[in-house]
Chain A
């Protein structure tokens, strides 16, 4: 139970900056997901909080205490590693007990906590096995168990699901969420998977190039991406980003009233429709290039007649459209996200960009 505060945190490797000044406060019991492409500094940031990387400048406060100079063991955190980092020569029980023994926890207390964690994670029958005798998902649970038994102030997760297959990943994702809700332990979670980030996070931190691009709840970030980068990164299939010139010939362009400075417009694939609605909308003529049925919905790859721009539509069901057919795409003005290419920011009401 604790808060984590990062104040202007920076990290350089030699002369190369990896983390360029991060400010973040994690509330007590909150799960914050750091998401971004590889090399954006999210793992480095997490390892700095863990105490595994030195800090070039700035402050890290865990439970109100500045821990920049503290050893990892003194920070009262537990970390789940991408490769689980289970001690291969110890049994599952040995793995769970190791951190408690090092801290001189009394025997009864150790037994109680190990039993509790084993019950929560349903790894009781495996306590006397070695990690190599476990499957990937079971190892993942043991790694979680090792974090739980410590009853730390905060959990740090470093891409804990990326070594699992797709099905197990979804399952473990749900379990991590439930577990975190139940234990109410402050958590920092690093991932490069935007779906994982969206589903797990109380609040989301989108990082790029060692900086925070946007901080907000998953819906805020999805509904109002603050920058072009976030717009392209969050959402699958990604948001269509079109230059304004691609729209200006379309009927209905005059009513848009785009904010000054707008030269790029973002439209989510599911906001592009084939049927015109009653509300005034923008109509864009296009040619169908490819139709991908993916079950309940279909992805329609089309090319705008005006300016030769590729767009993706996410349409319900399986529309009967021939490849090469000419269609008219409709979009409501309210669903347009206006951006400025040079600054990379939204041009309508400024969204705070820490």
Chain B
């Protein structure tokens, strides 16, 4: 890669120019992260008077805790479902919009709106629509013979948060897919058409492989989103219930730390999440630049 090199006459100047960004990063990112790591090795007494250093006790306890294992399982189901669901739906929409020439702007604009909605509002929106007492969806579902009550039924609750979280993410994925599709040269699909490939075959053998950088990028981003950015949706829609059925890792950090006031365990959980993010990011950087090239 080619980089522009700037030569500074003064040795101090580059550091001064970097200082604001470094300060922001240190104060708002590195320091809190270090605090979390530190807290994860400590136990605080119930009144907050003193803390004891207890090595890995918080972690040991965490991995022995069935509710933590349950939350990890929920997170797995939730993240995979949201990623698959939102990505496949947005790819479908993007392909459809890419075929429409004249009104494609209009569709794109409309489809991007959900992304501007705050996660908590998304949660409330879907909570409202699926509210067992006043929502429209349970009413309609009753007509089909389905009894909807996500307050009692854990799988229904999970389905609800998956739908809500996917709905919000579709816009984002859609934008990237549209951009990705538009960068696939028209002549390639034309060549494939002359080469005797039907529309489906063209898509799967030519267009989809050429989209792979976009797809891989979105895969990582979506897993990240489902695991970490869906706190607001979970909190507003189900608050982790019923009976822990929608309690995902990031929500448990909040519930244990801020509601349960178990700072040590909460800190340990957030350190685990931090490690997951680091791994995902590493995969992304490694593979987006290597594997996915054609």
Residues of chain A at the chain B interface (Cβ within 8 Å):
50-52, 71-73, 77-79, 81-83, 85, 87-89, 98-99, 102-103, 130, 132, 146, 150
Contacts and interface: CB of A to CB of B under 8 A. Distances in A.
A102 B196 contact: yes
B191 A102 contact: no
A85 B193 contact: no
B187 A89 contact: no
B92 interface: no
A146 B197 CA distance: 14
Contact of A83 (B185, B198, B206, B294): B185
Contact of A79 (B185, B188, B194, B210): B194
B191 A79 contact: yes
Contacts of B209: 89
B196 A103 contact: yes
Contact of A50 (B194, B197, B201): B194
Contact of B210 (A50, A73, A88): A88
Contacts of A81: 187, 190-191
Contact of A89 (B185, B198, B210): B210
B195 interface: yes
B192 interface: yes
B196 A73 contact: yes
22 contacts: A51-B193, A52-B190, A52-B194, A72-B190, A73-B195, A73-B197, A77-B194, A81-B191, A82-B187, A85-B187, A85-B188, A85-B191, A87-B188, A87-B192, A88-B294, A89-B210, A89-B294, A98-B192, A98-B195, A99-B194, A102-B197, A146-B191
Interface string B173-197: 0000000000001011011111111
Given A87-B206, A89-B294, A72 B188 contact: no
Given A73-B194, A88-B210, 6 more contacts: A77-B194, A82-B187, A89-B212, A99-B195, A102-B195, A102-B201
Instruction: Among A82, A83, A132, find the residue whose CB has the most chain B CB atoms closer than 10 A.
Output: A83
Q: Label chain B's interface by main secondary structure.
A: helix
Given A89-B209, A89-B294, A83 B193 contact: no
B203 to A, nearest CB: 13
Interface in B201-215: 201, 205-206, 209-210, 212
A317 to B, nearest CB: 47
Contacts of B190: 50, 52, 72, 79, 81, 85
A99 to B, nearest CB: 3
A72 B98 CA distance: 21
